[in-house]
């Protein structure tokens, strides 16, 4: 079975050692074992958990939510209902985020397409109208 030293694991997971220590101290990953030479050693499965944590964080999970998810997987009795509830809620959150990102992408593509004719772009046009009314960057100018 493959094991990683702390530095090796941090490098493989693209994290710094302090983040690894934080995750360990907060119960997100199991504590390291000590080798005969006293070095901390982590089983390869720890890398799988760290990769999931990174992906989940990028998807909007908080560390608390990730810990809840992992907790539902531990213990003698698998907590299927709790786990499914967490997953379903987060999938809905991800779907909403994807919709917002897609809309932002469409707006940016529209702005880029109108760089040579900015008045044909609703966003550029709205900025110009607001500027004419004495408002810029969402802050009203004082008289």
Tokens of 51: 């990769």
Q: What is the DSSP string of 35-51?
A: PTTS-EEEETHHHHHHH
Domain-embedded: residue 98: yes
Do 54 and 84 lie in one domain? The reply is no
Domain hosting 40: range is: 1-59
Global pTM reads 0.69
Does residue 71 lie in a domain region?
no
pLDDT in tens, the chain (143 residues): 789 999 999 999 999 999 999 999 999 999 999 988 988 899 999 999 999 999 999 888 899 989 988 887 776 666 788 888 888 998 999 999 999 999 999 999 998 998 888 888 888 888 888 888 876 555 555 54
Give the dihedral of Cα atoms 89, 91, 92, 98; nearest 10 deg: 150
Residue with tokens 């991800």: 94
| Count of domains forming the chain | 2
Express each pLDDT in 52-89 by its tens digit: 999 999 888 899 989 988 887 776 666 788 888 888 99
Residue 4 contacts residue 44 (beta carbons within 8 Å): yes
């Amino acid at each position: 079975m493959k094991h990683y030293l702390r530095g090796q694991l941090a490098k493989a997971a693209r994290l710094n050692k302090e983040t690894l220590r934080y995750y360990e101290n907060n119960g997100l990953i199991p504590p390291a074992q000590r080798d005969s030479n006293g070095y901390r050693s982590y089983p390869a499965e720890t890398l799988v958990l760290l990769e999931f944590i990174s992906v989940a964080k990028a998807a909007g999970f908080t560390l608390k939510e990730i810990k809840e998810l992992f907790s539902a997987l531990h213990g003698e009795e698998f907590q299927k209902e709790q786990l499914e509830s967490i997953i379903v809620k987060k999938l809905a959150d991800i779907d909403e985020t994807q919709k917002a990102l897609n809309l932002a992408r469409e707006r940016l593509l529209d702005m880029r397409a109108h760089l040579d004719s900015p008045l044909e772009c609703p966003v550029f046009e709205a900025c110009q109208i607001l500027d004419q009314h004495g408002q810029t960057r969402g802050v009203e100018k004082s008289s």
